[in-house]
Amino acid sequence: MSRIDRRFAQLRDKRRAALVTFVMAGDPDPATSRALLKALPQAGADLIEIGMPFTDPMADGPAIQAAGLRALRAGMTLHGVLHLVAQFRESDAHTPIVLMGYYNPIYVYGVEKFLVDAKAAGADGLIVVDLPPEEDAELCLPALRAGLSFIRLATPTTDEARLPAVLANTSGFVYYVSIAGITGAGRPDYSRVAEAVARIKAHTPLPVAVGFGVKDASAAAIIAAHADGVVVGSALIDALAGTLDGEGRGGEAAVKAVSALVRELASGVAGAAKNSATGEKVSA
Amino acid sequence: MDAMARLTSWMDGPALPVEAARPFKSGNMTLQTPILQPNSLRQGPDAHGHFGIFGGRFVAETLMPLILSLEKAYEEARADPAYHAELQNLLTHYVGRPSPLYFAERMTQHLGGAKIYFKREELNHTGAHKINNVLGQILLARRMGKKRIIAETGAGQHGVATATACARFGLECIVYMGAVDVERQKPNVFRMNMLGAKVVPVQSGARTLKDAMNEALRDWVTNVEDTFYCIGTAAGPHPYPAMVRDFQCVIGEETRAQMFAAEGRLPDSAFACIGGGSNAIGLFHPFLDDRSVELYGVEAAGHGLNVENGHAASLAGGRPGVLHGNRTYLLMDPEGQILEGHSISAGLDYPGIGPEHAWLKETGRVTYLSATDEEALAAFHLCAQLEGIIPALEPAHALARIIDIAPTKPKDHLMVLGLSGRGDKDLATVAGSLGGME
Ligand SMILES: Cc1ncc(COP(=O)(O)O)c(C=O)c1O
């Protein structure tokens, strides 16, 4: 059983959804990033998605674009990302880590070498935005062979006919992107989120985590009542960016600000658990 | 022999390995496309959009259903004579096709070698080859019921062509253009505004063409219901590279027929500049199986190929990678981060290239060269002075290599330049290069 499977199973026993937090590796600098990763589980993150920075993140909004560019300017590389994961694992053997990004840096690193190194560093899964099922032979199938989960995005445009193909080689969990759009944009229509999660669950036993547009505890609570996980990214990046000084330097303030928001989100998720445990669903 | 008689004699003649021919019309000319040979280089891409290892569909899941429905709509349109008739009618009466194949007599005399012809795409409505592709896509958008058109643009020529077609058909038009390009191609920004398009200056990343494409993709991901993405070059996820090529093949098909009409035989060589590669693939593709025809694609060498991040020659200075939906040659750092590249010509300033060119490079069928900013400027001036034609800076790159190669060829060598656009948009840039003459 993988770390991801184990974590979702534990949370299911507790009747609570997972809080999945996204941060960009090396944003705004490697030292702050390392401290931030270490602080996330203490603040209430159940799973961590770590962004692998890329110059051309075509599915991301301004917040994550800027985070990636800050990280690249501070010297982050794919080797550096894996090093951060390995450092995190020195003090945390249980929190699942999912690496999220775009294919080109992985392709250039070398697929087989990347999979070996990512596994050795202690990563558990991959989300690669620009690899749909049509391109499974590139990375998805090799990743599964290497013992890494390949987490696929399902979106509002993924219809009934396409869903089986999208789910076919997915493992770990399914990431439902609740709006057609880029990260950080808009607010999902919560009533349709419940419906979409149910639609996906009719096709797969995997947990379904929902993201895009979750910014605060109340939104997290609503999603947590309907899904197995709540993914928060841009809001955390915004919290971090708000603490940077004129030269874009990070430090303790960044870690504190992000941790505070994670605690708030975690309480939202925990609150929703009570509601669903007593059978009352929170509605939009 | 008149033109039609020559065309017919070419069909009957033994010179070509043609087993059968499918007639079609371009403007008022009837052209012939040979049915493909089993070992033809014109069969790509495969069902998954691959040209060898290049191409593919590397897009976010949100876009995948849209790309599949576009592919289906394009296949249906291709098989529909009414669609072709509508497109041909527009190409004839709106664009002004066929564009002339012009004997550049003084350029020929000056260089003292090959006999040089210009395929004059700069005479098309809107002043470049871009309109050929745009009309094909806009008619497709109409068939698909899409009312909102988005496009990326570098030099602004594709943006102008898209704005033009949208005005013609009453469609909403949003053009993404890097903020740097908005500055250096002001006349085209003004033209787009006049045509009713909304030009969005893109501030992200390097603020040039690649970032405009990122932003257009972000728009498409957000507006999936009503929006058609009209890509301006033979790149992007399948089916775009093949579709854009098909629309641009009119350049090479006409050239073929016109050269037979003028000289009674195939050209010996053809040259075209390469940004994403649409005018080049359009000129080359109909000749790919005529192995006697030398094909030269010319990339932008900017400040020089040895200047780091100082050029936009993806094939000469790049490696295979994945960006904007396809695997192709890209300019990138050792970590796979995309470089900005540089060219004096905004239309060539793109760190990638269409996947079919990447494949043609590997097969060796097309020779890829490059020309620097300085060489392109010299060619620009020579063309203006000898022929009374002010070319765009993009095709001036191809002309720069003709200036070297034509003198090495015999006088009966028939050489074609794809003159992809006119230079009005570049006057400020050229004046700037002459030292504050603005
Ligand atoms: C006149 C002209 N030629 C060539 C190009 C390069 O594009 P492509 O390589 O797709 O033909 C452009 C692009 O803007 C252009 O305006």
Q: Which helix (H) or strand (E) holds B24?
A: strand B21-26
What is the Cα–Cα distance from B131 to B282, expressed in whole angstroms? Answer: 13
Quick check: bond before A28 cis, omega within 30? Answer: yes
The answer to whether B336 contacts A104, with C-beta atoms less than 8 Å apart, is yes
Residue A101 sits at the vertex; the CA angle it makes with A96 and A102, to the nearest 5 degrees, is: 145
pLDDT band at B156, cuts 50/70/90?
very high
Q: Using most ligand atoms within 8 A of CB, pick from B122, B130, B353 the residue to mutate for ligand 1.
A: B130
Whether omega for the bond prior to residue B45 falls within 30 degrees of 0, making it cis, is: yes
B228-247 residue pLDDT tens: 999 999 999 999 999 999 99
Residue with tokens 């770390």: A3
Nearest 5°: phi and psi at A11?
Answer: -70, -35
Nearest to A157 among B57, B217, B224 (CB): B224
Sign of CA dihedral B343, B338, A182, A196: positive
CATH architecture of A3-278: Alpha-Beta Barrel (3.20)
Mutation for B interface: A134, A167, A176, most B CBs within 10 A: A134
Smallest Cβ distance to A130: which of B59, B222, B319? B59
Cα dihedral sign, A23-A29-A33-A36? negative
Among chain A residues, CA nearest to B64: A132
Beta carbons of B323 and A108 less than 8 Å apart: no
Q: Per residue in A142-171, is it b (16+ CB within 10 Å) or e — as a string?
A: bbbebebbbbbbbbbbbeeebbeebbeebb
Query: A113 CA to middle of ligand 1, Å?
Result: 38
Could you say which residues of chain A have pLDDT below 50?
Answer: 276-284
State the distance from the centre of ligand 1 to the C-alpha of B265, rounded, in angstroms.
28
Q: Which residues on B lie below 8 Å from A108 (Cβ)?
A: 319, 321, 332, 334-336
pLDDT value at B294 more than 50: yes
CA-proximal residue: ligand 1, atom 10 (nearest)? B278
Q: In this complex, which of B62, B217, B337 lies closest to A157 when CB atoms are compared?
A: B62
* Residue B348 Cα to ligand 1 middle (Å): 7
Average pLDDT value over all residues in chain B = 92
| Residue of A55, A100, A107, A151 best to disrupt the B interface, most CBs of B under 10 A | A55
Local confidence band at B30 (pLDDT 50, 70, 90 cut-offs): low
Residues whose CB falls within 8 Å of the CB of residue A62, separated by 6 or more in sequence, listed in order = A184, B204
Q: Give CA–CA dist A88/A74, Å, rounded.
A: 19
Predicted local distance difference test score (pLDDT) of residue B435: 75
Look up residue B190 and give its two tokens: 């003004």
Q: Chain B partners of A130 at a C-beta cutoff of 8 Å? A: 58-60, 322, 325
CA angle B316/B204/A104 to nearest 5° reads 45
Angle at A251 between CA A250 and CA A252, to 5 degrees: 140
Q: Do B221 and A59 make contact, defined as CB atoms within 8 angstroms?
A: yes
B82-92 pLDDT tens trace: 999 999 999 99
Question: Is B218 within 8 Å of chain A by CB?
Answer: yes
Question: What pLDDT does residue A274 have?
Answer: 53
**Residue range B177-187: average pLDDT?**
90
What are the phi and psi torsion angles at B306 (to 5°)?
Answer: -90, 0
Decide if B412 contacts B263 (C-beta within 8 A): no
**Catalytic sites of A, residue numbers:** 49, 60
**pLDDT given at position B346:** 87
- The ipTM, to two decimals, is 0.94
> B206 falls in which pLDDT band (50, 70, 90)?
confident
Within 156-175 of B, beta carbons closer than 8 Å to A belong to: none
* CA nearest neighbour of A22 among A248, A271, A235, A283: A235
Catalytic residue among B26, B71, B122, B130: B130
- pLDDT given at position B116: 99
- Partner residue opposite A166 with nearest CB, options B56, B61, B327: B61
In eight-state DSSP terms, residue A59 is: T
Token readout for B393 is 């800076």
Residue of A nearest to B322 (CA): A104
CB-CB contact of A246 with A27 (8 Å): no
**Catalytic annotation on B420?**
yes
CB contact (8 A) between residue A180 and residue B224: yes
Q: Which residues from A are below 8 Å from B53, CB to CB?
A: none
B433 CB-near residues (< 8 Å, 6+ apart): B344, B373, B377
The domain spans of chain A are: 3-278
Distance (Å) from the alpha carbon of B204 to chain A's nearest alpha carbon: 8
| pLDDT tens for each residue of B55-75 | 999 999 999 999 999 999 999
Do the Cβ atoms of B323 and A104 come within 8 Å? yes
Q: Is A245 exposed, middle or buried (0-12, 13-18, 19+ CB in 10 A)?
A: exposed
Instruction: Please identify among residues 22-61 of chain B the ones whose CB lies closer than 8 Å to any CB of chain A.
Output: 48, 56-61
B79, burial (CB in 10 Å: exposed 0-12, middle 13-18, buried 19+): exposed
Task: Using CB atoms within 10 Å of the CB of residue B167, give its burial: 0 to 12 exposed, 13 to 18 middle, 19+ buried.
Answer: middle
B400 touches chain A (CB under 8 A): no
